[in-house]
Amino acid sequence: GVRCPTTASKQRVYRAPYTLGAHPVCPSRDGRRPGSPFSAMRLALLVSYDGTPYRGWTDLRDVALRPALARVLGCPESDLQPGQQPSLPLLEAASRTDAGVHAAGQVCTLSLDDAVPPDRRSRLDTARLAYSLNALLPPEVCVRCAALVADGFDVRSNVGKQYTYRLSTASTRDPLRRLHEWHAPPRRGRPGWDAAAVASTAAAMLGTHSFAAFGNRPRGGERSVEVDPVCTLSELRLSQGGLSEASSAGRWAFTVRGDRFLYKMVRNLVGSLVKVGYGEMEGGELLEALADGRFRRGESVPITAPPHGLVLDSVEYAAGEDPFSSSSAGLN
């Protein structure tokens, strides 16, 4: 079954499989029994979700997770005044996924000092809490692990993330996969899919570079914030995916791993590489854009891959900081 990591290593990573509905639960990070009191503590959740019905992480957080947490952690109805609603706990996430993007290993935290009355903190049981949350959450959202962490833990202090982008180049679409892969068939009269060209171009983009050409300007109040465009890609790999030889035909997966990502960077990389795969761009154009900070055909990315093919696989933390690196826990 699915298990959380058990032994210490140089870098701890929990890689949840992309199978929504399983409910493993981790004990507290320091090895104490669930429910052991902390003078100040936070609750960390490892969450999987199908992002199809949501307008991004913020929508999913406010529509699904925060109300469920308020019911599980908040005051009983008998303690509320007429017309009073339970306060919704504040949740911080490692990655603010866009509308339609999915996650197998999103990490989020909240302060229990604000969300749980003092007389109830010592009785908190992470196993029961995760079970209760999953009973309340909609079927497309699942808490895979719950763990207690020190109050100083910062969920955004991660050292990297890994994504998978699923693509179909088959001539006909698969209706059963339409919500989780991008169907990009070959155009009539144009060259067919060239996986070798994609793989060689992707390999040349590994390492530390300014990815300014592949990042979109942030939205809202963050548009005026200056963002460092330098990122390190440790993996950008195209592989053929499918459970059998028949199902693998025309089905591909991009694995993208790095220390940080610009806004829409993964989808822009995939969209550009698909252009290379179909001969609509030369691989050298992507490498020139990487060096120049812009595409010579214009300042914007040629194509941004649609969101529904993208999955946040895992969030990586430095040794000793992974909330889910304690003792193993099996499936419920």
Indicate which residues carry an active-site annotation. 98
* Cβ pair 192, 170 in contact under 8 A: no
Please name the amino acid found at residue 158: N
Please name the amino acid found at residue 272: S
Question: What is the pairing mode between strands 102-111 and 310-318?
Answer: parallel
Phi-psi region of 50 (alpha: psi -120 to 50; beta: other; left: phi over 0): beta
Q: What is the DSSP letter of 216?
A: P
Picking from 183, 202, 174, 221, the residue whose alpha carbon sits closest to that of residue 290 is 202
d(CA 123, CA 114): 16
Picking from 168, 188, 187, 163, the residue whose alpha carbon sits closest to that of residue 178 is 168
First to last CA, the chain: 10
* Cβ pair 75, 117 in contact under 8 A: yes
Question: What is the pairing mode between strands 11-13 and 310-318?
Answer: antiparallel
Please name the amino acid found at residue 127: A
* Cβ pair 214, 299 in contact under 8 A: no
Residue with tokens 């902390």: 38
d(CA 17, CA 314): 9
DSSP string, 292-320: HSSBTTBSS-S-PPPGGGEEEEEEEEETT
Token pair in block for residue 263: 């806004």
